[in-house]
């Protein structure tokens, strides 16, 4: 019995350490604000925007998002170089330590597609943001009209 | 008398009607062809440039499956129209689809009306859209399909401004501020309907 305790104790300690390390996640240090979705008519893809602030000492990497209200969500970036508007999928968006990253119209955004049910202006839509270490952050995005230009205008 | 005086001033100024006006957007008068197209509006009606004579036209190419830049541009144009007040009734936003396969008049109707009551959605056969696009050296490219079968279309980010006679006057790009747009459109609309 004694023998078994002494053998399992280091394992237990290692497990606890791992749990603590895993606890200091990227998502834990991220604060989301100004979260909104531009709702378009019919089932057109919608752009979603949010300001992410990293209060931690380590940079965080936003990898993507998912929401029960949409069939798919992708991290995208718009550009307008040479007078041509383009949109491209991006793998990640860094949120610097003690800094912030903005998903805003004309730049980085989430493209939400195939709404499971119509999303109406005023709805709060839960979106789960996923980071490079697998940690997640839930944020309520407010559904705004097509001709809105920010989270509150 | 006033007309003669105005004419005289214009002649003295060296034949260019824009002399003396400090536009903030890019002045393209005499550098771009007059507005000319045959397309289908968001009520399914065949329309041409002559249907918008007497209105200042803001021409913008885009598509409804564009979730970010197109809605942003149209939302900004809506704010510009609001800031122009009653003068905005003399202007029309012509949103031309570069994705006619998906943008039927029905889709376009719901889309443009979500932005501004003075916005018109134009679609039509691909060759007619290409003709209009080429006329203003405004290319668009359908990007490769994604895994889900959907696709994006790269397109010009410019807004072409025509006066009530269908003459190309100004070009706005994303680097221009909303104030610039309001300033110039206010001037253009205040010049009155063509005599």
Q: What is the DSSP string of B91-133?
A: EEEEEEES-TTT--HHHHHHHHHTT-TTEEEEB--HHHHHHHH
pLDDT of residue B154: 87
pLDDT at A1 over 70: no
Q: pTM of the prediction?
A: 0.85
* Contact state of A47 with B111 under an 8 Å Cβ cutoff: no
| B4 or B70, which is more confident | B70
Residues of A in contact with B102 (CB under 8 A): none
What whole-number distance in Å separates Cα of residue A97 and Cα of residue B116? 41
Whether residues B173 and A105 touch (CB distance < 8 A) is answered with no
Q: Of B58, A35, A20, which is closest to residue A12 (Cα–Cα)?
A: A20
B57-113 pLDDT tens trace: 999 999 999 999 999 999 999 999 999 999 999 999 999 999 999 999 999 999 999
Mean pLDDT of chain A: 89
Reported CATH class of domain A27-144: mainly beta
pLDDT digits (tens, 9 = 90+) for B52-63: 999 999 999 999
CA gap A119, A116 in Å, rounded? 9
Query: Is this prediction's ipTM beyond 0.85?
Result: no
**Which residue of A38, A44, A83 is in closest CB contact with B158?**
A83
**B110–A41: do the CB atoms touch at under 8 Å?**
yes
Which of B64, B75, B148 has its CB closest to that of A44?
Answer: B64
Contact A42 B107 (CB under 8 A): yes
- Our CA angle for A104, A107, A112, nearest 5°, is 70
CATH H superfamily, domain B26-188:
Glutaredoxin (3.40.30.10)
Task: Answer whether B104 touches A (CB < 8 Å).
Answer: no
Cβ–Cβ below 8 Å for B111 and A148 = no
Domain ranges of chain A: 27-144
Task: Check residues A54 and B154 and name the one with the higher pLDDT.
Answer: A54
């Amino acid at each position: 019995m004694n023998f078994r305790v002494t053998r399992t104790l280091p394992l237990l300690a290692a497990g606890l350490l791992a749990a603590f390390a895993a606890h200091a996640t990227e998502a834990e240090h991220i604060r989301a604000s100004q979260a909104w979705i531009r709702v378009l008519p019919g089932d057109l893809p919608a752009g979603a925007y949010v300001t992410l602030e990293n209060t931690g000492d380590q940079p965080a990497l936003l990898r993507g998002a998912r929401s029960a209200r949409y069939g798919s969500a992708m991290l995208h970036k718009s550009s307008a170089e040479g007078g041509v508007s383009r949109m491209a999928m991006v793998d990640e968006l860094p949120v610097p330590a003690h800094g912030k990253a903005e998903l805003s119209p004309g730049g980085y955004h989430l493209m939400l597609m195939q709404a499971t049910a119509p999303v109406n202006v005023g709805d709060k839509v839960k979106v789960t943001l996923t980071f490079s270490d697998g940690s997640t952050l839930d944020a309520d995005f407010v559904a705004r009209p097509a001709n809105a230009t920010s989270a509150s205008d | 008398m006033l007309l003669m005086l105005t004419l005289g001033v214009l002649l003295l100024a060296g034949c260019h009607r824009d002399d003396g006006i400090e536009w903030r957007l890019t002045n393209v008068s005499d550098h771009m062809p007059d507005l000319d197209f045959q397309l289908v509006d968001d009520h399914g009606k065949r329309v041409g440039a002559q249907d918008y004579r007497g209105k200042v036209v803001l021409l913008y190419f885009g598509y409804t499956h564009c979730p970010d830049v197109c809605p942003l541009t149209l939302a900004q144009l809506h704010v510009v129209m609001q800031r122009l007040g009653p003068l905005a009734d003399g202007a029309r936003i012509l949103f031309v689809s570069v994705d006619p396969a998906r943008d039927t008049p029905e889709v376009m109707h719901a889309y443009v009306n979500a932005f501004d009551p003075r916005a018109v959605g134009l679609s039509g056969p691909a060759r007619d859209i290409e003709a209009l696009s080429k006329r203003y050296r405004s290319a668009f490219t359908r990007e490769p399909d994604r895994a889900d079968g959907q696709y994006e279309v790269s397109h010009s980010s410019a807004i072409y401004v025509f006066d009530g006679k269908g003459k190309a006057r100004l070009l706005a790009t994303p680097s221009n501020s909303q104030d610039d747009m309001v300033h110039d459109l206010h001037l253009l609309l205040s010049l009155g309907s063509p005599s």
